[in-house]
């Protein structure tokens, strides 16, 4: 903004005055638009948190993982029941091959079909399957606890982003009012400069202050937009979608008394209720069952099996010949009769005249005639398999130890975080009380400074300094107020009370 060295013409003063009034009206209109826009589609703290917990992308992905864990658990339960499989095959055969029903050599084209129903069931495997089912059940509970943990974390982050929006809106409001106040002072000062009652440097200093106030307002407005974008990311809402929030008084947001949030009490409750701690407990129990299952896999297992099968053979016709006896032929067999050894002979036949033709039996007759059944007991004894079973068992034991250490680390971090949060809440409360006193003192100082400035005994620079001190104290108070509320919400979160609205 250019510095005005001389102001003599009333017309110029009127033009500048109208320009300043336009700036003030634009700022007030902007603040009014914010209020009007929020009334159209308001988001409050409760709706923000609920929506973020249900629609956050990370939460949805973890929910899918929990569903996969549920499928694994259900499948492992079904695996303890007998399995059954039905199979069938059909083929066309030609040339010299074996008849699948009589097992004789034939040279003919025929159609064959086979059907088989098989079943098997484990009857003892050192509880390997039972422990696997238990491990998968604990894994399912751990996956669900992880979903809850992510939901609570997203809820806390969304609440913080929402409070940051309220804080930036409050800062925008304060800086907007500061601009209006500076414009009023500049208007009055220009009147006095035009009348020759004040030097021109007073108006120049206020011009510079108005420019700085405008920068502060633009910064606060940009923070509003940035914080809204941050909240949209937690809620998985399109960055370009319209979004307005309600602006309740921060003092109306309920918080627990800090005296009820002693860190040891909060830690004891959190240890039993926090999703991360439940997740660790479930993972350890799942690892213990997995170790037992891996140990059982190193021992013999027993199972029973059974099968039902039949065959069908189809051919056009098959010739039947008369058989003519041709004498006896020796065999390698020898029998002993009263101490005398005799070689066993067998009759020989030669093919005679054609006696007729044979056709294949009907389908149902063949299925009945060729029907076969089998049942048995099997045993599987692991002897040597490259050390895979023993390695799996040792790996399971190491996984148990790792999870126990992870649990200890998470518990220590939880306690550390609770003490840090409690200390931060105490500091925030002390800063809030101090900033409240600071506002009172700066408001009184500014009131005196304004009166002295009006009668001409205080310079513009000193007035601006006093005004800036008041602005900083108001901004600091707003920051401390929202900071204290959020710090208390963190303690409430650790105590398992959720987010109170």
In tens, the pLDDT along 194-225 reads 888 778 888 888 889 899 989 989 999 999 99
- Overall average pLDDT of the 366-388 stretch: 90
pLDDT in the model for residue 499: 65
CB atoms within 10 A of CB 27: 19
- Overall average pLDDT of the 335-341 stretch: 84
Confidence of residue 101 (pLDDT cuts 50, 70, 90): low
pLDDT in the model for residue 10: 35
* Dist. CA 16–CA 191, nearest whole Å: 11
pLDDT at 99 over 80: no
pLDDT in the model for residue 500: 64
The 3-state secondary structure of 342-384 reads EEEEEEEEEEEEEEEEECCCCHHHHHHHCCEEEEEEEEECCCC
* CA–CA–CA angle 118, 119, 120 (5° rounding): 135
pLDDT at 69 over 60: yes
Confidence of residue 498 (pLDDT cuts 50, 70, 90): low
Query: What are 447-477's pLDDT values in tens digits?
Result: 998 888 888 788 777 888 888 888 888 888 8
CB atoms within 10 A of CB 65: 13
pLDDT at 32 over 60: no
Task: Spell out the domains of the chain, with CATH numbers in brackets.
Answer: 10-70+130-298+388-494 (1.20.1600.10), 85-124+300-316+359-381 (2.20.200), 320-357 (no CATH)
Kind of pairing, strands 244-245 and 42-43?
Answer: parallel
Residue 331, both tokens: 């065999």
Confidence of residue 309 (pLDDT cuts 50, 70, 90): very high
Confidence of residue 414 (pLDDT cuts 50, 70, 90): very high
pLDDT in the model for residue 4: 34
Those residues whose C-beta lies under 8 Å from the C-beta of residue 422, and which sit 6 or more positions away, are: 258, 261, 262, 263, 266, 491
Q: Three-class SS of residue 68?
A: helix
* Dist. CA 314–CA 360, nearest whole Å: 6
CB atoms within 10 A of CB 421: 21
pLDDT in the model for residue 359: 80
pLDDT mean across residues, the chain: 84
- 396 or 8, which is more confident: 396
Q: Which of 47, 116, 111, 122 is nearest to 83 (CA)?
A: 122
pLDDT at 412 over 60: yes
pLDDT at 119 over 60: yes
Cα separations (Å) of 96 from 65, 91, 104, 107? 58, 15, 10, 4
**Longest alpha-carbon distance in the chain:** 159
pLDDT in the model for residue 200: 87
- 166 or 28, which is more confident: 166
Q: What percentage of residues in the chain have a pLDDT greater than 90?
A: 36
pLDDT in the model for residue 480: 85
What sign does the dihedral 229-231-236-238 (CA atoms) show?
A: negative
């Amino acid at each position: 903004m250019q510095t005005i060295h001389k102001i003599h013409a009333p017309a110029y003063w009127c033009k500048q005055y109208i320009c300043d009034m336009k700036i003030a009206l634009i700022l007030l209109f902007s603040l009014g638009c914010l209020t009007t826009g929020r009334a159209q589609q308001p988001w409050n703290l409760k709706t923000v948190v609920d929506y973020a917990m249900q629609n956050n992308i990370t939460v949805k992905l973890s929910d899918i993982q929990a569903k996969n864990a549920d499928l694994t658990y259900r499948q492992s339960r079904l695996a303890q029941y007998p399995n059954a499989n039905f199979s069938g095959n059909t083929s066309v055969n030609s040339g010299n091959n074996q008849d699948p029903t009589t097992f004789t050599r034939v040279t003919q084209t025929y159609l064959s079909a086979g059907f088989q129903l098989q079943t098997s069931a484990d009857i003892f495997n050192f509880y390997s399957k039972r422990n696997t089912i238990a491990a998968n059940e604990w894994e399912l509970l751990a996956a669900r606890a992880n979903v809850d943990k992510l939901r609570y974390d997203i809820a806390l982050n969304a609440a913080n982003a929402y409070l940051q929006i309220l804080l930036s809106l409050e800062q925008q409001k304060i800086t907007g009012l500061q601009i209006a106040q500076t414009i009023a002072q500049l208007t009055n000062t220009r009147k006095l400069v035009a009348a020759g009652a004040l030097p021109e440097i007073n108006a120049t200093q206020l011009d510079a202050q108005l420019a700085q106030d405008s920068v502060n307002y633009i910064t606060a407005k940009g923070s509003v937009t940035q914080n809204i974008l941050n909240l949209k990311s937690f809620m998985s809402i399109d960055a370009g979608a319209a979004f307005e929030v309600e602006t309740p008084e921060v003092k109306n947001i309920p918080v627990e008394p800090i005296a009820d949030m002693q860190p040891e009490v909060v830690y004891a409750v959190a240890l039993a209720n926090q999703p991360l701690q439940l997740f660790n407990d479930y993972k350890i129990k799942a690892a213990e069952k997995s170790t037992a299952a891996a140990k059982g896999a190193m021992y013999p297992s027993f199972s029973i099996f059974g099968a039902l099968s039949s065959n069908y053979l189809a051919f056009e016709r098959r010739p039947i010949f008369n058989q003519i006896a041709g004498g006896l032929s020796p065999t390698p067999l020898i029998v002993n009769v009263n101490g005398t050894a005799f070689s066993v002979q067998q009759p020989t036949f030669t093919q005679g005249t054609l006696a007729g033709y044979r056709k294949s039996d009907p389908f149902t007759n063949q299925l009945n005639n060729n029907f076969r059944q089998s049942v048995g007991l099997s045993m599987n004894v692991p002897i040597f398999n490259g050390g895979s079973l023993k390695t799996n068992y040792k790996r399971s034991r190491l996984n148990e130890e790792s999870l126990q250490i992870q649990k200890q680390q998470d518990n220590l971090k939880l306690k550390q975080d609770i003490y840090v949060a409690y200390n931060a809440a105490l500091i925030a409360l002390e800063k809030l009380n101090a900033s409240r006193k600071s506002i009172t003192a700066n408001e009184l100082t500014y009131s005196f400074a304004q009166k002295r400035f009006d009668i001409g005994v205080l310079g513009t620079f000193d007035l601006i300094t006093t005004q800036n001190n008041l602005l900083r104290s108001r901004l600091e108070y707003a920051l401390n107020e929202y900071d204290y509320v959020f710090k208390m919400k963190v303690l409430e979160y650790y105590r398992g009370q959720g987010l109170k609205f």
